[in-house]
Structure 1
Amino acid sequence: MDLITFQRRFGTEPACRKRLFELRWPEGFRCPRCGCHEAYHLENRSLYQCVECKFQTSLTAGTVMHRTRTPLVKWFWAIYLVATDKRGLSALALSRKIDIGLKCAWTMLHKIRKAMEARDAGYQLAGLIQVDDAFFSGGVKKGGGKRGRGASKVPVLVMAATRDEAITFARMEVLESVDGDHIKAVLQKRVADSQSIKTDGLPAFNVAKQIGHEHIPVVVYPKKGEPDYDVLKWVNIMVSNAKAFILGTYHGVMGKHLQKYLNEFCYRFNRRFWPGQGFDRLLRACSCASPVTYAELRG
């Protein structure tokens, strides 16, 4: 959706409320408590009251916009800007673009990322899946900090599902440690049963066979000759692109928030072939995702 079309369709609060109503209740109002399909609209309070049980709810209740004081027009703008800028959007940039406070912008963006996470959580990886570990910076220290696998590095499990040598879906999960137990937990959660998993020779990846997958270990670093990075081509591309995305737009992130930015990167990557549907898809995700508080986002 181009900018002119977006502004024409969602430039007013009533227009935004109408679209959100359609997404929340596509078959008409349904009481979240008793299931009744009839309600009174309390316009002065922007609430809907069930005619049967008298329960009151709002359009934003039960979504990432739960109890928001920010106008829906600005929420729609934020979602549109996030969806249409493939580089991502910082809190400072969003605060300037839609005239809101920096804390509000930070909260909105993290709630949108929460919706992205919830949307991708509904899919499991299938096919031939390339899996490898990588290390991301988990904060910026004065003086540059330690390079390589140091205290400021966060281990991440990178998974790329492929079909006919093309990548179909990707996930990246922060690990507490690169060991069999933590890798096993992620694979059980994110990979469908009985798939083929290609890894390098790290012994920790042997858990793939233990939990019912076909394990295909490959030699990336031979004793003689140059490393063969192409055997895990897609995970290497994912790591390179994710690091560029995080450093280019956000100039680094704290370790405790890294997973949220990896979720955003993967959500965008997994929908890269449908840029014209970006806003509609993300708005739908935000209307379906469960509420999350500022305290929960701060961690």
Structure 2
Amino acid sequence: MAEEEAYELFKEVRWSVNDGDPVCPHCGSVECWTFKSRRIFKCKHCNKQFSVTSGTIFSGRKLQHRDYLLAIAIFVNSCKGVSALQLSRDLGIQYKTAFVLAHKLREVTGDEMQDAVLTGEVEVDGAYFGGYLKPRNWKENRVDRRLRRHQNGKRRCVFAIREREGRVVPVVIKSETSEAVTTAIRKHIDSQASIHADENAAYDALHAQYQMFRINHSRVYSDGEACTNGAEGWFSRLRRAEIGQHHHIAGKYLHSYANEMAYKENRRRQDNGSLFGDLLFKSLNRPMSRNWAGYWQGNNQPGEVLLYPH
């Protein structure tokens, strides 16, 4: 695709309600002047100038439009994620640029999960990521990473909430305590839903509010009635992304990677073209990122994104 074709696609997707003709992002007017020397527009009502990426996550862009299209195509095509280093090599850009661009796309994928409420039969489970000390790969030095003495205190729990044959919503918490899982479940599970969980005592308090099905994994993996295989299956995707692609995920940004894997899991049966169009549309209709615009100039995310920080 030539740069001009990519630019026209940006206009078509950004202003699809107006058949690709510019709409002022400041006042909403459709009466705009077009500049022939530059790809910018000027509103006839508020006299403000804007471009096709103004007010989106691509605001202040430096790359060509077709580079962003290629980045989105690579992003959705990698079912278990793509590292910033690999993305920088594919696009021929700096690592810093690829790192921020990938995180902007991850931020877009997480929007739909902020207020999602799941219904029907819902499976819940937690898995811990990161925070372990990597030893030399000698057999006699291999250790059980689950033990506290082999961790550095940065391990975080990703709590998965998944509908049977439906969506998955991840929540990052410090540990799988009763207060944390109750807060997550009340936010993302309908009061009429039935919940499948394991033998963890953190779920005991939920019996008074929900219809609960429990499975004791120390005795059996599935008993035909209670089962959390769906939630555990999603963990394998996130685990492969951590170990096989990114190798290290900072706890500060664990929620971003979890949202990306949930977005891809929820659309695992859609073709790549549909995923590409969906993510491009959402990217061009989302305001500029507060956490990633100017990241390398010091505009960093202040802290971890935890639903229940204690």
Q: Deviations over 1:235-266 (max 9, x none)?
A: 22122232122211112312212111111111
The residue that corresponds to 1:266 in the other structure is 262
Match for 1:174 among 139, 155, 172? 172
Amino acid at match of 1:278: L
Distance of 1:191 and 1:43 partners within structure 2: 52
Q: Where does structure 2 lack aligned partners over 5 or more consecutive residues?
A: 137-141, 304-310
Aligned residue for 1:155, secondary structure, equals strand
Moved more, 90-99 or 23-32: 23-32
Residue 20 to residue 269, structure 1, CA distance change in 2 (3 Å) = same
State whether structure 2 residue 182 is matched by structure 1 residue 184.
yes
Q: Work out whether residues 139 and 253 of structure 1, in 8 Å CA contact, stay in contact via their aligned partners in 2.
A: no
Cα shift at 1:297: 5.4
One-letter amino acid of the structure 1 residue matched with residue 282 of structure 2 = A
TM-score, normalised with respect to structure 1: 0.84
The 1-side partners of 2:33 and 2:104 are apart by 29
Determine the structure 2 residue equivalent to 1:246: 242
Aligned-partner Cα distance in 2 for 1:139–1:52: 58
1:188–1:30: structure 2 CA closer, same or farther, 3 Å change rule? Answer: farther
CA gap 1:56/1:208 in 2 versus in 1, 3 angstroms: farther
Query: Of 50, 63, 68, which aligns to 1:57?
Result: 50
Structure 1 stretch displaced more, 120-129 or 91-100: 120-129
1:119–1:285 contact (8 Å) kept in structure 2: no
Instruction: Give the alignment's TM-score, normalised by structure 2.
Output: 0.81
SS in 1 for 2:284: helix
**Shift of residue 275 of structure 1?**
2.2
Equivalent residue in structure 2 for 1:291, among 288, 291, 295: 288
Deviations 1:22-56 (A, max 9, x none): 22221223323322211112344432211111122
Farther-moved stretch of structure 1 (15-24 vs 183-192): 183-192
In the TM superposition, what is the alpha-carbon distance from 1:122 to its structure 2 partner?
6.0
Among candidates 65, 71, 74, match of residue 78 of structure 1: 71
Name the CA distance, whole Å, in 2 between partners of 1:196 and 1:38: 52
The amino acid of 2:10's aligned partner reads: L
Q: Which runs of 4+ in 1 moved over 6 A?
A: none
The more displaced of 76-85 and 279-288 is 279-288
- What is the correspondence of 1:17-36 to structure 2 with a 5 Å cutoff? 17-28=7-18, 29-36=22-29
Identify which of 165, 173, 194 aligns with 1:196: 194
289-298 vs 59-68, greater mean Cα deviation:
289-298
The offset of 1:206, in angstroms, is 4.1
Distance in structure 2 (CA, Å) of the matches to 1:43 and 1:88: 40
Q: Evaluate the alpha carbon distance shift between residue 185 and residue 36 of structure 1 in structure 2; reply closer, same or farther with a 3 A threshold.
A: same
SS at match of 2:17: coil
Give distance in 1, aligned partners of 2:163 and 2:46. Answer: 47
Q: Distance in 1 between matches of 2:88 and 2:98?
A: 5
For 1:120-199, list aligned pairs within 5 A. 120-121=113-114, 123-138=116-131, 141=134, 147-148=145-146, 150=148, 151-162=153-164, 167-199=165-197
Superposition deviation, residue 186 in structure 1: 1.9
Are the aligned partners of 1:63 and 1:286 in contact in 2 as well (CA < 8 Å)? yes
Q: Does 1:109 align with 2:111?
A: no
Aligned match for 2:4, one of 1, 14, 17: 14
1:196–1:152 distance in 2 versus 1, CA, 3 Å: same
